[in-house]
Amino acid sequence: MTHPTLLIAPRQAPSPSLQAGGVFARSTPRLTLADAITLFVKRCRARSLSPKTIAFYGYRLDAFSRFLAAHGIEAAPNAITAAPIRDFLAEQRERVSAITASHSHVTLRTFFRFLVREELLDTDPMSRIEPVRRPRKVVQTFTPTQIEALLAACGRGFVGARMKAIIVTLLDCGLRVSELCALAVEDVCFETQTMRVQGKGSRERVVPFGEATRQALLDYLARRGELAGQRALFVNCYADALNRHGVHRLLRECGEKAGIRGARCSPHTFRHTCAVMYLRNGGDAFSLQKLLGHADLTMTRRYCELGQADVAEKHRLASPGDRFLTAVKPTSGRKRLR
């Protein structure tokens, strides 16, 4: 008995550019750098990274893409080696700054690790590239005299009360400017003297504040009054929420009145000042980490490295040499002749 011939259709190969789930195949030659960056950005959004972080990654990756195009280097991720990456970082360091080159290194390291983890690359070209050395700058802070001058320059009325509340809150709580602008009226609890702060990566933390901040906020809220439909704590004269640019401008203008010019009079200088003063007044690095909302102690340790003036003052008070000489100083007035 003869059996009919079975005609089996050959299995079709997957799309040359996509596998199931819309993920590019590792061996696919059509995976361009632009495609890989698109996947990376989607992954960042899926992880709920902040828009600023995603924009930061995108800007640095765009600079890398333009560098490869300008030098005629193939932009497929599986064709990129360590050599053009080193050339790009060297150009960034010389043409822009070491800090920008360091930011590019961090971005490329995160990007290529993502590609390897998703099995879009077999090897990570960043594994053989050392981090960019960046200069360590002394943390800039305000002096007590400068803080007094800033508070004296706040003025009167609603604008003055708001300015004083912003300055005292930044100084006492060490908030980032984005965290300050995101504060809502209901985030502040005067009974417990704490505020609920939305930090980086949507991490929420509770930050305590002192009596001076409590009084400054109450004085400001008495002038702000109830604003229908406006939840933002800090508003402008037209009852619109203050944004980061507005806070920077207000502090810059206040700094000019107080005789503090330049970019130094910024929200981050208050954050630095809060951290250093907290440690000077007996606070510890671990509670400071919680207060500032740092993910780890890396940045917090920098605040422990006080400025040179602090070192000199502390050495004057606790000089081993002076203490030793005081201890062995002869009590009689007799001198030994030589």
> CA-to-CA distance for 181 and 245, rounded, in angstroms?
10
Q: Is pLDDT at 290 greater than 90 in this prediction?
A: no
Q: Is 334 a catalytic residue?
A: no
From the list 103, 220, 271, 278, the catalytic residue is 271
Helix, strand, coil percent content, the chain, rounded in steps of 5: 55, 5, 40
Q: Is 314 a catalytic residue?
A: no
From the list 57, 176, 224, 278, the catalytic residue is 176
Q: Is pLDDT at 318 greater than 90 in this prediction?
A: no
Contacts of 297 (CB under 8 A, 6+ apart): 285, 286, 289
How many percent of the chain have pLDDT more than 90?
A: 51
Task: Name the band, by pLDDT with cuts 50, 70 and 90, for residue 10.
Answer: very low
Sheet holding 188-189, edge to edge: 188-189, 194-198, 204-208
Task: Name the band, by pLDDT with cuts 50, 70 and 90, for residue 162.
Answer: very high
pLDDT in tens, 242-253: 999 999 999 999
- Give the start-to-end residue ranges of the domains of the chain: 20-128, 144-315
pLDDT in tens, 13-69: 444 444 434 444 444 456 889 999 999 999 999 988 888 889 999 999 999 999 999
* pTM over cut 0.85: no
Q: Is 57 a catalytic residue?
A: no
Q: Is 271 a catalytic residue?
A: yes
Supply the pLDDT for residue 270.
93
Assigned superfamily of 20-128: Tyrosine recombinase, N-terminal domain (1.10.150.130)
From the list 26, 200, 205, 302, the catalytic residue is 200
Mean pLDDT of the chain: 83
Q: Is 105 a catalytic residue?
A: no
Q: Is 176 a catalytic residue?
A: yes
Q: What's the CATH code, domain 144-315? A: 1.10.443.10
Residues 293-314 have a mean pLDDT of: 66
From the list 109, 134, 248, 268, the catalytic residue is 268
pLDDT in tens, 111-156: 999 999 999 988 999 998 998 887 777 678 898 999 999 999 998 9
